[in-house]
């Protein structure tokens, strides 16, 4: 089954990059409209989500429902759609106070709801791919209330659903032994908004009421420009000085030629020497080329196509583009390795192909343990892991191989502008802050700082 979903996923992605939904978004009158329950989680940590029915909500009376096919990226993003049991039909109003089901609060259920309300839990649902959010309940004066009535105002235009407004009403006090009756109503309203504009509402900054920290982005940007400017100024001055001394030397004949070497003359015999660990070095370079192209491609796809309108399509696109750009990795890594005179190119290619996937999967694996421990919806099922492994083995690896072979053949001959000295110059003693470990950490501080402030 997972192999099929993988094949289907690849097919869908190849056919049409941004569309992976089973619905065509067109409804006939009285056709069933499915309300999918997705997740619940604390409002102040949007990454922490649990399946909707992990809280003791009850499922409506309606049982039969067409099956929902989850895509790979939805599984990775922790989307878990479950049918709500609410009967909703296109353009058919449901009168107020229609009961779906009843929950009798046992001690355990009471505690679960109180915990959720205390931690400002909110839930997310989908109607026709449109996300809907709402609060589970409210706290007044140390008493906990839960919203039991959901009012859906659905706007339609012709045969398409344009917008959904959810209003939570009828707060009920939570106490052990209470009988909570969950009710809903649906009102259909015609609207003139076009189908293609239906996601514009979510792009309006007032909708989520989040602010972009323009100042800190600007600040980081200026900092980067300042540092780049500083470094290039130092380099240019050093080069100028070297240049001036060379021309002076030429005028003063060859007196100083021996022994008094400096600047470029000093290092030109060593700059093209292959690194002490060429396999790792060239793999990292290849991965860098690949990551840069992935970022550029996905960013431009996101700008051109509306990737935010389909669940999980940004991640599917990213995975697809990553797999598709593997030859770039192979080409640049493999050709550089060959120019450095490397022989064990198969090992280099394997490391190149699996370097980023293993870092990502390793991190995901750790997070997965935590997610499984807390029963969070982000826990990645075994089948999904298998699918990801399959993509790595059967898509990324062969494409990297192709890139490596092409790179070695087209661009594999050394073409350095100057000779490499046979004897490497000894590297002078370094200060402690020039050690690789310290430099690695320091290099990451600036990008980390700018991202951390934003988060
Ligand atoms: C949903 O709410 C918005 C803003 O309050 C309103 O403009 C719109 O008409 C509502 N839509 C429906 C279908 O009730």
Three-state secondary structure string covering 363-377:
HHHHHHHHHHHCCCC
* Paired tokens of 7: 């094949």
Given the structure tokens 């589970």, which residue do they identify?
A: 136
The closest alpha carbon to 78, from 307, 310, 306, 311, belongs to 311
Kindly state the average pLDDT of the residues 46-65.
81
Q: Averaged over 302-306, what is the pLDDT? A: 85
Residue 97 in tokens: 């106070």
pLDDT higher at 348 or 178: 348
Predicted pLDDT at 18: 35
pLDDT of residue 19: 35
438 or 22, higher pLDDT: 438
For residue 124, list its beta bridge partners.
39, 133
**74 vs 78: CA distance, rounded Å:** 6
381 three-state secondary structure = coil
CA-nearest residue, atom 10 of ligand 1: 165
Q: Whose CA is nearest to atom 5 of ligand 1?
A: 165
- How far apart (Å, rounded) are the C-alpha atoms in residues 291 and 206? 33
Give SS3 for 131: strand
What integer best gives the mean pLDDT of the chain?
Answer: 85
Whole-angstrom Cα distance, residue 97 to residue 78?
32
How many other CB atoms sit within 10 Å of the CB of residue 101?
15
Q: Which residues is 166 bridged to in the sheet? A: 152
Q: pLDDT tens digits, residue range 311-339?
A: 888 899 999 999 999 999 999 999 999 99
> Which of 165, 191, 198, 202 maximizes ligand 1 atoms within 8 Å of its Cβ, making it the mutation to test the pocket?
165
CA triplet 83, 84, 87: central angle to 5 degrees?
Answer: 105
CA distance 356 to 290: 10
* Mean pLDDT within 187-205: 87
Beta partners for residue 169, in sequence order:
149
Q: Ligand 1 pocket, 132 CB below 6 A?
A: no
Q: Quote the tokens at residue 88.
A: 């909703």
Q: What is the mean pLDDT of residues 270-297?
A: 93
pLDDT number for residue 329: 96
Task: Indicate the pLDDT class of residue 3, thresholds 50, 70 and 90.
Answer: very low
- Angle at CA of residue 444, ends 442 and 450, nearest 5°: 120
Residue 191 has pLDDT above 90, yes or no: yes
More confident of the two residues 264 and 29: 29
State how far the Cα of 297 lies from the Cα of 80, in Å rounded to an integer: 28
CA dihedral 409→411→412→415, nearest 10 degrees, is: 150
Q: Is the pLDDT of residue 200 over 90?
A: no
What's the gap in Å between 71 CA and the centre of ligand 1? 31
Using the mean position of ligand 1's atoms as its centre, give its distance from the Cα of residue 163 in Å. Answer: 8
Q: What is the mean pLDDT of residues 104-111?
A: 91
Which residue, chain included where needed, has tokens 């920290």? 213
User: Taking 70 as the threshold, does the pLDDT of residue 381 lie above it?
Assistant: yes
pLDDT per position as a tens digit, 340-354: 988 899 999 999 999
SS3 category, 283: helix
Residue 6 pLDDT > 60: no
Share of the chain above pLDDT 70, in %: 89
Query: Is the CB of 306 within 6 Å of ligand 1?
Result: no
* Minimum-distance ligand 1 atom for the alpha carbon of 165: 1
Q: Is residue 415 classed as helix, strand or coil in its secondary structure?
A: coil
Q: How far apart are CA 320 and CA 77, in angstroms?
A: 15
- DSSP assignment, residue 204? S
Nearest CA, atom 14, ligand 1? 153
């Amino acid at each position: 089954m997972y192999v099929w979903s993988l094949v289907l996923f690849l097919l869908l992605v190849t056919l049409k990059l941004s569309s992976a939904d089973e619905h065509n978004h067109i409804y006939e009158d009285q056709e069933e409209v499915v309300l999918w329950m997705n997740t619940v989680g604390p409002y102040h940590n949007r990454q922490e989500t649990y399946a909707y029915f992990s809280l003791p909500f009850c499922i409506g009376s309606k049982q039969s429902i067409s099956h929902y096919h989850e895509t790979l990226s939805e599984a990775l993003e922790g989307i878990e759609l479950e049918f709500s049991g609410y009967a909703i039909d296109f353009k058919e109003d449901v009168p107020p106070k229609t009961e779906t089901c009843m929950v009798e609060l046992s001690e355990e259920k009471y505690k679960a709801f109180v915990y959720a309300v205390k931690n400002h839990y909110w839930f997310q649902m989908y109607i026709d791919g449109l996300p809907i959010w709402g609060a589970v309940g409210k706290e007044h004066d140390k008493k906990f209330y839960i919203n039991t009535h959901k009012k859906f105002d659905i706007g339609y235009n012709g045969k398409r659903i344009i917008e959904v407004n959810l209003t939570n009403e009828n707060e009920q006090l939570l106490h052990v032994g209470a009988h909570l009756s969950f009710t809903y109503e649906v009102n259909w309203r015609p609207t003139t908004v076009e189908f293609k504009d239906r996601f514009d509402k979510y792009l309006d900054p007032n909708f989520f009421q989040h602010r972009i920290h323009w100042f800190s982005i600007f600040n980081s940007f200026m900092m980067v420009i300042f540092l780049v400017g500083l470094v290039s100024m130092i380099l240019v001055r050093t080069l100028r000085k070297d240049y001036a001394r060379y021309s002076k030397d030429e005028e003063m004949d060859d007196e100083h030629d021996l022994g008094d070497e400096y600047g470029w003359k000093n290092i030109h015999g060593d700059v093209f020497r292959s690194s002490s660990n060429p396999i790792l070095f060239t793999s990292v370079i290849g991965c860098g080329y690949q990551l840069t192209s992935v970022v550029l491609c996905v960013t431009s796809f996101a700008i051109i196509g509306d990737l935010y309108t389909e669940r999980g399509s940004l991640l599917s696109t990213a995975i697809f583009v990553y797999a598709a750009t593997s030859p770039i990795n192979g080409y640049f890594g493999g050709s550089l390795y060959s120019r450095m005179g490397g022989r064990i190119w198969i090992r280099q290619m394997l490391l190149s192909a699996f370097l980023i996937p293993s870092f990502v999967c390793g991190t995901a694996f750790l997070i997965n343990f935590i997610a499984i421990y807390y029963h969070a919806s982000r826990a990645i099922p075994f089948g999904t892991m298998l699918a990801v492994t399959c993509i790595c083995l059967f898509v990324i690896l062969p494409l990297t191989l192709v890139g490596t072979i092409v790179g070695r053949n087209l661009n594999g001959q050394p073409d350095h502008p100057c000779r490499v000295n046979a004897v490497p110059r000894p590297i002078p003693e370094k200060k402690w802050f020039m050690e690789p470990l310290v430099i690695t950490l320091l290099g990451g501080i600036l990008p980390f700082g700018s991202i951390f402030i934003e988060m």
